[in-house]
Structure 1
Amino acid sequence: MRQRNKPWAGDMFAENPAFVPSNPSDRKGKWKEVFHNDNPIHLEVGTGKGQFIIGMAKQNPDVNYIGLELSSSVMVSALEKLLEEDVPNVRLLNENAEDLTSIFEENEVSRVYLNFSDPWPKNRHEKRRLTYKTFLDLYRVVMKPNSEVHFKTDNQGLFEYSLHSFSAYGMTLNNVSLDLHQSKMEDNVMTEYEEKFSSKGSRIYRCEAQFRS
């Protein structure tokens, strides 16, 4: 479904700098100062409407969460939720994942989440997939050694592609699940898409891919 354009989203971001920091590249290497603590930073690339990242932040108050979302019309919904919940350990960035190394210093991020990313099913669009090797390069630069990428999707083709991509990159695969909701995983925080697809009986695929130092 095509997202309705919300031209006022940028103004709302500007009005809430406490949750949507302006000029994020100026914060590179200084994100702990933004959160006023030394807690680890977890990054969600493609945060959508924010249900996952806000749920994780409430569940883990000793972790700082940053949600990256390219679509301002989508991210404004996450900001609205955040203003209602007033969760102090979340920040949102209306930025492109291709710019990660301009926003974060080397070894600044402790974990990356990729939830229900666009599968870009056509072969000619492979380089746009968030588990393609050039994106893995970016994650590795900004993440601490031996950190993990946590990946969830309902798309079997993307999941199989991503497992291969992670393995070809030399990452270690942990906790691979071909049916997450039938597994014994505890404290799973669902995204909006996850609730929608799982309610229709779709399988949810999940894995943790760890970089090797």
Structure 2
Amino acid sequence: MGRNKLERFRQIEENTNVIQPGKEIFEKIKGNWKAVQFQNEAPLVVELACGRGEFTVGQARVEPEKNYVGVDIKGGRIWKGSSIAIAEGLKNVAFLRTQIELIEASFEVDEIDELWITFPDPRPKDRDERKRLTAPKFLEMYKKIMTPGGHVHFKTDNTGLYEYTFELLNSREDIVIFKNTRDFYMSEWKENHHGIMTRYEKMFMEKGETIKYIEFGFK
């Protein structure tokens, strides 16, 4: 392991905006994000597979009235976002280092007010369907930890994943679709995201891909 990587892991151990196994707060955070980590009652917004945290940190800058948590398993990625948030003095940003399959261990029932699924791995092979972040087993997890009336935002460049997700959501009686477009930046909602783009989003758009977007909630 390189020196830079070791130094980054040392830093995230010290960064108070990173919640990860081995830290005492990791075992206590479930149900206590607002009271313990943020010490306020502002809405809790979570981004799954946040990567370097560009979107999480970007939203926190323009919406200080909300608390933001980026979730990822890669410590090197989380180091980037957490370091930027600390350097900018953003108190409404935190990062959770865990596998998304285990998020119910870190969030209580009805704890999350808003959820973002931004450019997840499309998992195009049929045998990998259960691993897609919009597969039924994940939807059931989200349904438990979302507050009643909470909204889920899904963005992807991948047409196959978009069509799979839309068909699945549209087939369920317990889900309502609020917004749906095959070309987000040509839609009436493009300003709602404050022009914040992830590294992958910029890369896909430079290749000529359109960004698909669905906003939905659980009845």
TM-score (norm 2): 0.89
Which residue of 2 is the match for residue 46 of structure 1? 49
Which residue of 2 is the match for residue 204 of structure 1? 211
The answer to whether structure 1 residue 71 and structure 2 residue 58 are counterparts is no
The answer to whether structure 1 residue 176 and structure 2 residue 183 are counterparts is no
Would you say the 8 A contact 1:44–1:53 is kept in 2?
yes
State the alpha-carbon separation in 2 of the partners of residues 13 and 163 from structure 1. 37
Which residue of 2 is the match for residue 160 of structure 1? 163
Match of residue 33, structure 2, among 8, 31, 34: 31
State the alpha-carbon separation in 1 of the partners of residues 167 and 5 from structure 2. 37
The answer to whether structure 1 residue 13 and structure 2 residue 3 are counterparts is no
The answer to whether structure 1 residue 84 and structure 2 residue 111 are counterparts is no
Aligned-pair CA distance for 1:147: 1.5
Is the deviation greater in 80-89 or in 195-204?
80-89
Instruction: Count residues with an aligned counterpart.
Output: 207
Structure 2: 5+ residue stretches without partners: none
State the alpha-carbon separation in 2 of the partners of residues 135 and 25 from structure 1. 22
Which residue of 2 is the match for residue 190 of structure 1? 197
Structure 1: 5+ residue stretches without partners: none
TM-score (norm 1): 0.91
3-state DSSP of counterpart to 1:27? coil
Would you say the 8 A contact 1:133–1:169 is kept in 2?
no
Cα deviation code 1:135-194 (max 9, x no counterpart): 111111111112211000000101111112222333111210111111222142211111
State the alpha-carbon separation in 2 of the partners of residues 81 and 196 from structure 1. 21
Aligned-pair CA distance for 1:10: 2.8
Would you say the 8 A contact 1:7–1:73 is kept in 2?
no
State the alpha-carbon separation in 2 of the partners of residues 6 and 197 from structure 1. 28
Aligned-pair CA distance for 1:7: 4.4
State the alpha-carbon separation in 2 of the partners of residues 119 and 7 from structure 1. 31
One-letter amino acid of the structure 1 residue matched with residue 201 of structure 2? E
State the alpha-carbon separation in 1 of the partners of residues 51 and 120 from structure 2. 10
Cα RMSD between the aligned structures?
A: 1.6
Aligned-pair CA distance for 1:37: 0.5
Aligned-pair CA distance for 1:8: 4.1
Would you say the 8 A contact 2:82–2:94 is kept in 1?
no
Is the deviation greater in 111-120 or in 183-192?
183-192
Match of residue 55, structure 1, among 46, 54, 58: 58
- Map 1:126-137 → 2, pairs under 5 A: 126-137=129-140
Which residue of 1 is the match for residue 152 of structure 2? 149
State the alpha-carbon separation in 2 of the partners of residues 25 and 143 from structure 1. 20
State the alpha-carbon separation in 2 of the partners of residues 15 and 182 from structure 1. 43
Aligned-pair CA distance for 1:85: 2.4
State the alpha-carbon separation in 1 of the partners of residues 63 and 86 from structure 2. 18
Percent identity between the two aligned chains: 33
